[in-house]
Amino acid sequence: MEATLALEDGRVFRGKGFGARTERGGEVVFNTSLTGYQEIFTDPSYAGQLVCLTYPHIGNVGTNAFDNEAGRPYIEALIVRNFSELASNWRSQQTAEDFLARHHTPVISHIDTRALVRHLRTHGAQRAVLSTLSADGPALVTRARALPPMVGLDLARTVTCAHPYEWTEPSVEVATARPALLAGRGFSPDAQPVKGEGALAPEEARVYPRFRVVAYDFGIKQNILRRLVDVGCRVTVVPVLTSAEDVLAMKPDGVFLSNGPGDPEPCTYAVEAVRRLAGRVPVFGICLGHQIIGLALGGKTYKLKFGHHGANHPVKNLLTGKVEITAQNHGFAVDPDSLQLSEVELTHMNLNDSTLEGLRHRSLPLFSVQYHPEASPGPHDSHYLFGHFVEMMEEFKK
């Protein structure tokens, strides 16, 4: 099966097709992670985007039910150098090709991904169409130019949950830990290790939470929810249009604002909700949630040239002087010059391009980071932020 990738500026790449026989369009971006391709496939923050993975060999460990970050892939299409049709891993339940084909996601392989990445770094993220049905480059370029630009797109509404739901599953590390290690962390003292790797059984990883947290689902990843449970939170996930009044009626100890796709500026409903919640309950935001907090505090956002996508971005904690290697996936950023520094303290900075990566309010219980502290995939340098959220909720209770 042949595949063709056409960019809006006229650049065309031809390669070998895998996955679904279909045609998909959106913004093409690149991700520099070395591992975790299944988590990338299923991250709702990639809605509306075709993802090029810079690591050259993808698909060799297959896929499994537990590594999904959502119920299905959210990438529009996958772009790789080499795509493995075979899977060799003891956890594999399905090949990557079968997984993507089942969810109608096309793949282009055997192209020069280095040339594509350099093109995107030079000219910026672009609209594109990937087709495993047509090889007509000029026609595909025309269709790419007809796609809506990412600026102005409210995609959070398209990926959010339809109804509120409860999440009680912890991470594998906590669920399989010896009971002695769980003392003082809100977990049952008679919790037993989970056998094997599948879905976690509630009776084997029972949690007694200390805090009730309402999490806004702008495109939330399952490992974020697991990390909240790890620190003793009972989590209720709510749709993006849930009002601040409805959230406060749940009497939460804290509110979490998740990651998500698209432009933050059209999410005026979320900005207004944060303004109503600020000061009345502790708030922690990441990624799109960070951008929404920035807007709620009177700031502005802007689109990055080609975004931050990968698990190796260095960020300096301006409060401690330490450097964290972080997982990131965003195409917009908060303009630090638009914030009132008498009210807002800048806490984290990206060492690659000096963009704002974190902030906190000087008097209200509210803070956020631009990156993904659950880091799935990625390093665990930023897990401490979930602990900060717990400390903030504990202090607010006093």
CATH number at residue 29: 3.50.30.20
User: Dihedral angle at the C-alpha atoms of 198, 203, 204, 210, nearest 10 degrees?
Assistant: 110
**Two tokens, residue 45:** 């923050």
Instruction: Say whether pLDDT at 178 is over 60.
Output: no
Residues 249 and 139 in one domain: no
The answer to whether 202 and 229 are in contact (CB under 8 A) is: no
Residues 238 and 355 in one domain: yes
CA dist., res. 105 & res. 18, Å (int): 9
Instruction: Say whether pLDDT at 195 is over 50.
Output: no
Q: What is the pLDDT of residue 175?
A: 65
Give the model confidence (pLDDT) of 346-362 as tens digits: 999 999 999 999 999 99
The answer as to whether 125 is a domain residue is yes
CB-side neighbour CA atoms (13 Å) of 27: 26
Provide CB contacts within 8 A for 365, sequence distance 6+: 279, 281, 282, 283, 392, 395, 396
Residues 142 and 163 in one domain: no
Q: Could you give the angle at the alpha carbon of 321 between the alpha carbons of 319 and 324, nearest 5°? A: 100
Closest to 143 (Cα-Cα) out of 8, 289, 36: 8
Residues 216 and 338 in one domain: yes
Residue % of the chain over a pLDDT of 70: 91
Residues 245 and 356 in one domain: yes
Residues 142 and 235 in one domain: no
Residues 113 and 242 in one domain: no
Helix (H, G, I), strand (E, B) or coil at 80: coil
Instruction: Say whether pLDDT at 337 is over 90.
Output: yes
Residues 239 and 387 in one domain: yes
Q: Which domain holds residue 51?
A: 2-149
CA dist., res. 135 & res. 211, Å (int): 55
pLDDT band at 228 (very low <50, low <70, confident <90, very high): very high
Instruction: Say whether pLDDT at 279 is over 50.
Output: yes
Place of tokens 């391709």: 37
Q: What is the pLDDT of residue 187?
A: 41
Residues 392 and 334 in one domain: yes
Q: Could you give the angle at the alpha carbon of 181 between the alpha carbons of 176 and 185, nearest 5°? A: 100
CA dist., res. 284 & res. 358, Å (int): 11
Q: What is the pLDDT of residue 376?
A: 87
Residue % of the chain over a pLDDT of 90: 87
Instruction: Say whether pLDDT at 153 is over 70.
Output: yes
Residues 254 and 271 in one domain: yes
Closest to 56 (Cα-Cα) out of 124, 18, 7, 109: 109
Q: What is the pLDDT of residue 191?
A: 39
Q: Which residues are catalytic?
A: 287, 372, 374
The answer as to whether 376 is a domain residue is yes
Q: What is the pLDDT of residue 240?
A: 98
Residues 116 and 28 in one domain: yes
Q: Could you give the angle at the alpha carbon of 85 between the alpha carbons of 84 and 86, nearest 5°? A: 90
Q: Domain count for the chain, please give it.
A: 2
Instruction: Say whether pLDDT at 176 is over 70.
Output: no
Indicate the pTM of the whole model.
Answer: 0.91
Give the model confidence (pLDDT) of 130-149 as tens digits: 999 999 999 999 999 999 99
Helix (H, G, I), strand (E, B) or coil at 128: strand
